[in-house]
Amino acid sequence: RGMGAHRFDHCLLMCEMNPETGVNTVADNVNFFTNVLDFHLVEQVLVGPGGAIQAAAFLACTDKPHDIAFVGAPTSGLHHVSFFLDSWHDVLKAADVMAKKKVEIDVAPTRHGITRGETIYFFDPSGNRNEVFAG
- Indicate if 89 belongs to the active site: no
Q: From CA 17, how far away is CA 23, in angstroms rounded?
A: 5
Q: From CA 77, how far away is CA 13, in angstroms rounded?
A: 6
User: Are 74 and 16 spatial neighbours (Cβ–Cβ below 8 Å)?
Assistant: yes
**Whole-model pTM?**
0.87
Q: Which fold has domain 13-78?
A: 2,3-Dihydroxybiphenyl 1,2-Dioxygenase; domain 1 (3.10.180)
Question: How many CB atoms are closer than 10 A to CB 20?
Answer: 5
- Indicate if 131 belongs to the active site: yes
Catalytic residue among 79, 80, 89, 118: 80
Catalytic residue among 6, 20, 40, 66: 66
Residues 120-134: tens digit of each pLDDT? 999 999 999 999 999
User: Are 44 and 57 spatial neighbours (Cβ–Cβ below 8 Å)?
Assistant: yes
Residues 71-98: tens digit of each pLDDT? 999 999 999 999 999 999 999 999 999 9
CATH class of the domain defined by 80-134: alpha beta
- Indicate if 6 belongs to the active site: no
- Indicate if 80 belongs to the active site: yes
Q: From CA 103, how far away is CA 123, in angstroms rounded?
A: 7
Domain ranges, ordered by start, for the chain: 13-78, 80-134
- Indicate if 79 belongs to the active site: no
Same-fold call for 13-78 versus 80-134: yes
